[in-house]
Structure 1
Amino acid sequence: MSGTQTFLLPDLGEGLTEAEIVRWLVEVGDVVAVDAPIAEVETAKSIVEVPSPYAGVVAELHGPAGSTIDVGKPLITIGVIAPAAETYREEEKAGSGNVLIGYGTPESAGSGRRRRPRGTAVVQPVVEKATVRTVPLVISPLVRRLAKDAQVDLHMLDGSGAGGLIIRRDVEAAISAKTENPLVVDETTADSRTGLVELRRIPISGFRKAVATTLSRSRREIPEATTWVDVDATALLEARESLRTATDPGPGLLALMARFVTAGLKKYPELNGFVDTEREELVQYDGVNLGLAAQTERGLVVPAVVDAHLLTARQLDAEIRRLTASARDGKLTAHELACGSFTLNNYGSFGVDGSAAIINHPQVAILGVGRIIDRPWVVDGELAIRKLTQLSLVFDHRVCDGGTAAGFLRFVADAFESPTSILADL
């Protein structure tokens, strides 16, 4: 050994000041190489792997899985192994500790240095106490999240995928085994208020903390009001079907709805902005970044389609599909999660008719769409079965009165009921 190096949790960007250790990928005594992943951490924005800037033997882990560490505080201490050759010293210098999470250590431009393949390290053979432990191969972040939520130790699993890769069915099999052999709950420990036995305690993650902070601030600061309307969406569904061909599925319903919303916000810009409380000003945006509420394994996220007002329904459809896939895979960027100016929430996908949603602070309004179902409806004085849905608009009463909110809601409702006439002008 030639001493130890302590790696401090680096600046995570986007104003983030802490991260939760989801799980350690190494243990004390493990040999690690430069850029080898050492921990998986969760911030309010995403889950990322942290690479090691040093090569050597893990001497100390500064916090158990589930704990929160502030930026600039010790994360891991590594005993740096004495180099066996000059090439090892060159690589150790490359691992300077200036690490960008998710990107590994930086390479010096024009240095002419040759880096050994990631995951290898030259160590002195006389070091007998260092043990090498195989870290499970897991590629999918969904598999990692599934294992974490079910408290399955990936190190105890044998991967059935190519090259020993741990795949979803391996984790699901481990979960099934745990279900068949449940742990015995100590029934002597009961909650003092209810007398009920606690089933489990789940720490609030950095992501959930951020969501809770935003929603709590919204409830605390915004004097909100809600207005809603039942809408005959029969013509909307027919219009969508008319855009389909044998080779082209056409834009989806959500893309058409998004197009109507952006048009409505152009007509009623009061709902597309924010309240600058420090300067006591109401700010309206020139353009729309349309947030779309999406449920993921990590919880509810609201990524935004940037410059949605400039996109056609077909372009909106492609971008919505891309954002949905990124949300599902945990690959949304911080900008996509934070740049929305108005939110469209399709809670009908959960099979519900209505909801009094909470505005996504610092936005000033959110439009919700309920499920579309067959209901009796009067058409030209005759009772008929039509495709009905409910639109609900929650808005900040500081930015407008009910007339403006009702005007926007009626515009979108009319677009649902007569989409061809609206689309002709878009």
Structure 2
Amino acid sequence: MSVKTFLLPDLGEGLTEAELVRWLVAEGDTIEIDQPVAEVETAKSMVEVPSPYAGTIHELHGAEGQMMLVDAPLFSVLEAGSSAPSPAAAPAVREVAQSYREEERAGAVAPKGEGSGNVLIGYGTPEGLAATQRKRRPRSSMTTSDGNGAVLQSSVRSAALVISPLVRKLARDRGININNVSGSGADGLILRSDIEAATATAAPATVVAASSPAQHTSPEDATAKDSGIASGASPVSGIDARSGLPVATRTPIAGVRKAIATAMSRSRSEIPEATVWVDVDATNLLQMRSAMKTSDPENTPGLLAFIARFVIAGLIKYPELNTRIEHNAAGDAEIIGFDGINLGFAAQTDRGLMVPSIRNAQDLSARGLNKELSRLTEVARAGKATVAELTSGTFTLNNYGVFGVDGSAAIINYPEVAILGVGRILDKPWVVDGALAVRKMTELTLAFDHRVCDGGTAAGFLRFVADAIENPASVLADL
């Protein structure tokens, strides 16, 4: 009997959970190597998880719609030629998932022996994992026999063996004493799945009591406590304790929405942000594009592609806005400049606001940018954008005019240092050559990190883009 229990891998840098959207197989199905088994949604994208083994699906370890923690069992495969295990059989072998960085390293070495020859999304092959794992110093142990010839080994340890701080935090949040948890990893290493199992077996009252440290209690909290309701939670009757209103819905902040909330909170708390804006006459740009569309309708870029080209030219002239602030090993802040521009753009999808980026956008013409804008919008809306496509931007362009608004004080897409917003284009009275005329007007808004530049640099960049929109032919002649 050989049952492989596959653990949910880290499908992107630092992700700790994913929503199980859909099973692509059922228990008892026969599968091949690399066959997709499940579709999961992370904070970054929708991902199909393939199996590194052929055989029969023995068990599916979650329900559709359930949030699954990284390193928690996802599915078990009974390998070809094996019989179904009996209840008294030894526990199944659990395949430990690789991290995203380990996956990239595994791709540089051809795997050998058992398992898929491919480096799969988020995990890689068993041999690749073995090559990257560190050897741990052996701990004190005692070897005994169970009387049936099997050798049992019990380890004597003075402290819990935990590497990941996320596992410690999960145990602390759930009120689990980590020293009382038996680890199922190598050498007794405690994994997230072990904390999950300990939570399931712990008495609810014990978990709540252990996870609620003594702290100052507000009058509202005291009222909730006296009525048997935890602060911020709804009572059994469905009436909110603070407002007194019936609770209509309760939606967890998870997946994409959680990632957006985290990034926006960090942006507001860490970046000293300033905003400048300007009204722009886009009449000449619209007339130029209309003339191009008449002669070559199939190859005429959209307005956003032209504006993106002007933005790229502006960033080349004002590179301070195409940077990032990081902290070195000593804890000192550094401004990191880049040899190239990855232009991100906001794309509204059913899963929330995505910001895919065009890699090395400085090398593309307006037509090339238009193709990439279309392609990345489609893959983002389909949930198929890669982690790299969604996290590698160095500057963001946001066309919120499609929502029918004129302006917005946009939040910088952390950890970038600036974002340019474009409002809707509409007819407005405007003075041209001393006379009042009806022109196609829009508003540009630039939010920037005041740590990397002053207002003069930000205004210079914004004015450059505005002038390019107002006189596109002269600017495009130099690009």
TM-score exceeds 0.5: yes
Q: Which of 244, 264, 274 is the matching residue for 2:324? A: 274
Paired-residue identity, %: 63
Partner of 1:192: 241
Deviations 1:27-65 (A, max 9, x none): 5x5334234443221122211222334555555443333
Partner of 1:137: none
Task: Show the 5 A alignment for 1:27-106.
Answer: 29-35=27-33, 36-54=35-53, 58-80=57-79, 82=81, 95=115, 100-101=120-121
**Any idea what SS the aligned residue of 2:293 has?**
coil
Q: CA, structure 1 residues 96+290, in 2 after alignment: closer, same or farther (shift >3 Å)?
A: closer
Paired residues of 1:292 and 1:345 also in contact (CA < 8 A): yes
- Of 266-275 and 97-106, deviating more is 97-106
Deviations 1:73-129 (A, max 9, x none): 322234557459xxxxxxxx96579872499989xxxxxxxxxxxxxxxxxxxxxxx
Larger radius of gyration: 2
CA–CA distance in structure 1, aligned partners of residues 434 and 30 of structure 2 = 77
CA–CA distance in structure 2, aligned partners of residues 318 and 410 of structure 1 = 27
Task: Show the 5 A alignment for 1:275-314.
Answer: 275-278=325-328, 279-314=332-367
1:324 and 2:377 correspond = yes
Aligned-pair CA distance for 1:375: 0.9
Unaligned runs of 5+ in 2: 84-112, 127-235
Deviations 1:268-294 (A, max 9, x none): 111110112334222222221111111
CA–CA distance in structure 1, aligned partners of residues 117 and 20 of structure 2 = 19
Aligned-pair CA distance for 1:22: 2.1
Paired residues of 2:407 and 2:422 also in contact (CA < 8 A): yes
Letter in 1 for 2:455: G
Partner of 2:454: 401
Deviations 1:330-355 (A, max 9, x none): 22121111111111101001111011
Letter in 2 for 1:259: R
Letter in 2 for 1:378: V
Paired residues of 2:12 and 2:122 also in contact (CA < 8 A): no
Aligned-pair CA distance for 1:216: 1.1
Q: TM-score, normalised by structure 2?
A: 0.64
Paired residues of 1:224 and 1:396 also in contact (CA < 8 A): yes
1:343 and 2:396 correspond = yes
CA–CA distance in structure 2, aligned partners of residues 7 and 231 of structure 1 = 56
Paired residues of 1:34 and 1:95 also in contact (CA < 8 A): no
CA-atom RMSD in angstroms: 2.8
Q: TM-score, normalised by structure 1?
A: 0.72
**Any idea what SS the aligned residue of 1:237 has?**
helix
**Any idea what SS the aligned residue of 2:463 has?**
helix
1:239 and 2:288 correspond = yes
Q: CA, structure 1 residues 34+340, in 2 after alignment: closer, same or farther (shift >3 Å)?
A: same
Partner of 1:377: 430
- Of 328-337 and 14-23, deviating more is 14-23
Unaligned runs of 5+ in 1: 85-92, 107-186
Q: Which of 214, 218, 225 is the matching residue for 2:263? A: 214
Partner of 2:279: 230
CA–CA distance in structure 1, aligned partners of residues 119 and 315 of structure 2 = 42
Q: CA, structure 1 residues 395+66, in 2 after alignment: closer, same or farther (shift >3 Å)?
A: same
Paired residues of 2:418 and 2:448 also in contact (CA < 8 A): yes
Deviations 1:128-153 (A, max 9, x none): xxxxxxxxxxxxxxxxxxxxxxxxxx
- Of 253-262 and 243-252, deviating more is 243-252
